[in-house]
Amino acid sequence: MDAVMSCQHISRLISQVMRRGFWSPIINTMASISSTDSSSQRYATPKLPIYDEPPREIILVKTELPLQPQVRWVREHLQSFKKEFQNRAGFLMERGFKAEKDFTGTLTGLLDHKETSSSSLLCVGIGTMSGSIITRNRSLPLRFLSPLAFFIVSSYHFLPITSQNFQSYLFRLQDKHFPRSAAARDDVIRQSIESVQWFRRLKDQMLQQSDKLVRNGNQAIEKYSGLKMSHEKTNVKPE
């Protein structure tokens, strides 16, 4: 009976404490403590981490200005034009050096060193200037053509080997690049040679006929006049 009464007394005390708000001061105290801890944590110095933080990912966003495509187009065209110009300039310089080398080699092969080392070149120059001086008061075509004609004639006279080499070289070029004109040239040369040969034969025939006429005339005069017109060659032996 005593135990039952003590348990009932304890339960009544607990109910009275609950009704009187016994837990409210405890709850208020805990709330103030938690607020103090949060404020102290807010104003406290942050602690540095022990390990390095991982690098943040950087995202690049490509944006173009309004004139950027035009500027890119102009730059690309300028670069391509510059490259093409450099290639063409290099090609032209290479071709020029090659042409100069070929021309020098060809000229050296055509010139005769014995003729060029003598005074024949000076004579050719004087002959060409003479043609210009002689025709200085003549018509315009004659003033242009006479120095060339004097140059060709003086070259064949004073530099025969060199002139012949140049003629053969020009003929080879004409045969290679202009075959039709080369054929016409050969016809003209052939006709000229035939004409010269015909004139030579005609000259020989005329000389023979004139000699024959002179002999016949002398014989006729000697026959009818008794005068001796022909002179025979006599071989005189030296003593």
Domain membership of residue 211 (yes or no) is: yes
Q: Which two tokens stand for residue 191?
A: 């006709």
Query: 185: closest CA among 173, 174, 198, 195?
Result: 174
Measured in degrees and rounded to the nearest 5, phi and psi for residue 20 equal: -80, 0
Neighbours of 156 (CB within 10 A): 14
Which residues span the domain enclosing 208? Answer: 179-224
pLDDT of residue 220: 76
Host H or E run for residue 98: helix 68-110
Query: 127: closest CA among 148, 111, 141, 145?
Result: 148
Domain membership of residue 141 (yes or no) is: yes
In the chain, the amino acid numbered 43 is Y
Residue 111 is classified by DSSP as: S
Domain membership of residue 53 (yes or no) is: no
In the predicted structure, residue 158 carries a pLDDT above the cut 60: yes
Whether residue 165 sits in one domain with residue 137: yes
Rounded CA-CA distance 182/180 in Å is: 5
Domain membership of residue 160 (yes or no) is: yes
Q: Which ranges constitute the DSSP H helices of 111-178?
A: 113-116, 120-134, 140-158, 160-177
Confidence class for position 16, pLDDT limits 50, 70, 90? low
In the chain, the amino acid numbered 204 is D
Q: State the pTM of this model.
A: 0.47
The number of domains in the chain is 3
> How do residues 37-69 score in pLDDT, each as one tens digit?
555 555 456 677 777 777 788 888 777 778 888
> Across the chain, what does the average pLDDT equal?
78
Domain membership of residue 54 (yes or no) is: no
In the predicted structure, residue 179 carries a pLDDT above the cut 90: no
Among candidate residues 144, 177, 210, the one where a domain is terminated: 177
Among candidate residues 85, 110, 135, the one where a domain is terminated: 110
Rounded CA-CA distance 109/161 in Å is: 12
Whether residue 210 sits in one domain with residue 173: no
Whether residue 120 sits in one domain with residue 146: yes
**CA of residue 21 relative to chain centroid, distance:** 109
Q: Which two tokens stand for residue 161?
A: 């080997």
Rounded CA-CA distance 30/51 in Å is: 35
Q: What is the mean pLDDT of residues 137-158?
A: 87
Confidence class for position 231, pLDDT limits 50, 70, 90? low
Contacts (Cβ under 8 Å, ≥6 apart) of 66: none
Rounded CA-CA distance 21/33 in Å is: 20
In the predicted structure, residue 233 carries a pLDDT above the cut 60: no
Domain membership of residue 231 (yes or no) is: no
Rounded CA-CA distance 134/128 in Å is: 10
Neighbours of 154 (CB within 10 A): 20
Whether residue 104 sits in one domain with residue 85: yes
Among 19-23, 53-57, 86-90, the range of highest mean pLDDT:
86-90
Whether residue 127 sits in one domain with residue 100: no
Domain membership of residue 197 (yes or no) is: yes
